[in-house]
Amino acid sequence: MNQEELIARLKKYEWNDIEFKKAQHDVPSDTYKSVSAFANTAGGHLVFGVEDKRGSFQIVGVIEVDKVQNDFLSCLRAGGKFKRSISVQESTVVHDGMTLLVFHVPEARRKDKPICLNGDIKQSYIRRGGGDERCTDSEIRRFLRDAGDIPYDSGVMSDLDAEDFFDQASVAWYRRVFQEKQANRHADLSDVEFLNEWGFVVESDNALRPTRAAALLFGKSRLLRYLLPRGIVDYQRIDARFDDWSPEHRWCDRVVVEDNIIHAWQLLVEKYFRLAEKPFSIDAATLRRHDDPPDYISFREAAINLLIHQDFGDQTRKPVIKIFLDRTVFWNPGDAFVTMDQLLDPTEKEVRNPAIVAAFRRIGLSDQAGTGVRSIFGNWRQLGFVPPSIVNDKREKTFEITLLKETLLTEEQRLFQAQLGVRLTEQEAAVIAYACRAGVVGVTDAKAVIGRGSGEAEQVLDHLVTQTLLAVVKPRVSWELASHLQERFAQDDQVPPLARDLVTDQLSGVAAVSLVTPKLTKFTEPQRKIMALCEVPRTQADLMKTLGVSHRTFFRRTHLEPLIKANLVRMTHPEEPNHPNQAYVITEDGLGILSSWRANAEGRGNS
């Protein structure tokens, strides 16, 4: 953290990733609570030499710099305040002759959590808002479950009989799909032999016992209600937009699944089938669509992600799927073990329930290791929507994916970009659209938008800076729309759409014709037709005849000239507007918009 960033943070409220301490002569005793909280949550900065005066922060400087620094660092070594050594990054900032000490406390490794004070696990803290809170007993248990050397789903259920615990229909369905994928492998084995072959049933104390993964995947209903009283998933359909809904309003359809994971998956597919805008072909045995279009793949991967990565040791918080008119939200107890950036990388990742994950991958219902979230993003991108939103909450240990049904490159956005006078690739256009929508774009955001790695994402961002379309906020970290475009985009956004009556084919009188060409912010229906017609050069007379319009001035001012000024249609003889052979043809920018219309129409037809 440099001086400029620090001063900027001082002007804001103290928040979850920064803590200020006066610490002029000594390290305040509560500093170590903040170390524990940062290490157990998502990391953060400690700044010494800043005093909190009734909610405002004032730089007072550290007076005994060496003493304060050495005292603090010595207490972070193993055997001091903590059982494990806490490695921090330290730096010094001098402001108006006063010295500030800045320490970045990283998030601890999963296996090292919870970081507690004086060897007392009850003195473990997490960061919430601008404060450090002592962990509750349930929060400590979550840390300990995730830190264990043996995954929770690998535990052996020593009180269950391998011959009697499973639901035969669930195992039969799984084996049918498995044999389809594995060329009838192990088809001659009994159910118990098959479960034993694949590690769902193991030998323990001279008897075969199911693992916890086996019980959760295939267990009978009464067993699941005993093992997991909160249910596998809470499915809710709400016939309202997210912003128009409140918890007081009832859902239109709700099912809390208290059966095993296989039954939960079958129910979710059935519910999705009923909600699909158009009927689709589905394999009765595997419950997979034959065509696997992007919308289904995104739903499938998000739903399976929820089913197989949840914290099954959490007995109180159940996963929830809420389907609104404008989005679908998947909420899970249990955070991801990796960062958002790592989730988008095509590498194998550490998971909470490896046995359950492997079971789904063997039958092809979950993408290969490390690609599930990438598949969600990639298929949502194919639909032209904004990237899914992910909240990986380290404080509450929860994970949420939201699939927003909002077009990224809207007509308004394409119109805005067409008038920039710069040729953009589809990737660059998508990044600009995201920057307009979000305000700030980072490397991870760009990766999500274009579906490429960090290197290519940075190249796109750098090229947009070179074109003076983006400006650097923080080097190699964040970018924003260039200032001259921020003003222009805001102005365009405030211009009201063209009135619907401008779509009228005829006018009742010449006096009604405006001599000012209206600014193009939204397409009229005739303009849509003009762009489609102008894939080949067309004269004005040809266009008017096809559209059934008779008033030349009205047609030119209202429909044709806005397209020319927006660089969507051009004259074949621009140097001679009144050329006897003058015709109009679509530009490259116009062709991009036309292509997007057709792609959207095809998507609606195939959904």
Three-class SS state of 603: helix
pTM, two decimal places = 0.83
Q: In 525-541, which positions are buried (b, 16+ CB within 10 angstroms) versus exposed (e)? A: ebbeebbebbeebbeee
Report how far residue 548's alpha carbon sits from residue 552's, in angstroms, rounded to the nearest whole number: 11
Distance CA 341, CA 334 (A): 18
pLDDT reported for residue 4: 75
Tens-place pLDDT, residues 227-245: 999 999 999 999 999 999 8
Of 318, 351, 314, nearest to 332 by C-alpha is 318
Structure tokens at 183: 């060329």
CATH of domain 231-391: 3.30.565.60
Q: How far is 601 from 593, CA to CA, in rounded Å?
A: 12
Closest CA to 415 of 402, 428, 429: 429
Handedness of CA 372, 374, 375, 380 (dihedral sign): positive
Classify residue 509 as exposed, middle or buried by CB count within 10 Å of its CB (0-12, 13-18, 19+). Answer: exposed
The string of pLDDT tens digits covering residues 532-589 is 999 999 999 999 999 998 888 889 988 999 999 888 999 999 999 899 999 999 998 8
- H/E segment holding residue 178: helix 168-181
Q: What is the pLDDT of residue 593?
A: 85
Bridge partners of residue 389, in order along the sequence = 402
More confident residue, 128 or 13: 128
The SS3 call for residue 330 is: strand
Q: Does domain 411-494 have CATH number 2.40.40.20?
A: no
Q: Are 171 and 200 in contact (CB under 8 A)?
A: no
- Is the separation of the CB atoms in 146 and 352 below 8 Å? yes
Share of the chain above pLDDT 90, in %: 63
Confidence of residue 509 (pLDDT cuts 50, 70, 90): very low
Q: What digits encode the pLDDT tens for the residues 421-477? A: 788 998 999 999 999 999 999 999 999 999 998 999 999 999 999 999 999 998 889
Residue 517 confidence (pLDDT) above 60: no
Structure tokens at 571: 């004259």
Q: What is the pLDDT of residue 335?
A: 94
- Classified as helix, coil or strand, 128 is strand
Q: What is the mean pLDDT of the chain?
A: 87
Q: What is the pLDDT of residues 342-396, one digit of tens each?
A: 888 888 888 999 999 999 999 988 765 455 888 899 999 988 899 999 999 999 9
Is it the case that residue 515 has pLDDT exceeding 50? no
**d(C-alpha 486, C-alpha 201), whole Å:** 61
Q: What is the pLDDT of residues 319-331, one digit of tens each?
A: 999 999 999 999 9
| Helix/strand/coil (H/E/C) assignment for every residue in 362-376 | HCCCCCCCCCHHHHH
Q: For position 103, what pLDDT does the model report?
A: 96
Structure tokens that stand for 276 in this block: 């699909």
**What pLDDT score does 286 carry?**
54
Give the pLDDT confidence score for residue 497 in this predicted structure: 37
Report the top-level CATH class of 500-606.
mainly alpha
pLDDT in tens, 193-223: 999 999 999 999 899 999 999 999 999 999 9
Q: Which residues pair with 125 in a beta bridge?
A: 134
* Residue carrying the six token digits 């601890």: 108
pLDDT at 496 over 50: no
Length of the chain: 607
DSSP H helical ranges for 383-521: 411-418, 426-438, 443-450, 454-466, 483-494
The predicted pLDDT at position 294 comes to 82
Whole-number Å distance between alpha carbons of 83 and 36? 11
**pLDDT for residue 6:** 76
Q: Would you state the pLDDT for residue 291? A: 58
Q: Give kind and range of the element (H or E) at residue 355.
A: helix 354-362
Q: Give the confidence band of 250 by pLDDT, cuts at 50, 70, 90.
A: confident
DSSP class per residue in 202-238: EEETTEEEEBHHHHHHHB-HHHHHHH-TT-SEEEEE-
> pLDDT tens across 31-69, in order?
999 999 999 999 999 999 999 887 788 999 999 999 999
Buried b (16+ CB within 10 A) or exposed e, 151-164: bbbbebbeebebee
Where does the pLDDT of residue 122 fall: very low under 50, low under 70, confident under 90, or very high at 90 and above?
very high
What CATH code would you report for 3-135?
Answer: 3.30.950.30
- DSSP-derived letter for residue 557 is I
What's the CA angle centered on 352, arms 351 and 354, to 5 degrees? 65
Q: Do domains 3-135 and 231-391 have the same CATH topology?
A: no
Every domain of the chain and the residues it spans: 3-135, 152-225, 231-391, 411-494, 500-606
Which pLDDT band holds residue 514 (cuts at 50, 70, 90)? very low
Half-sphere exposure of residue 25, counting CA atoms within 13 Å on the CB side?
A: 0
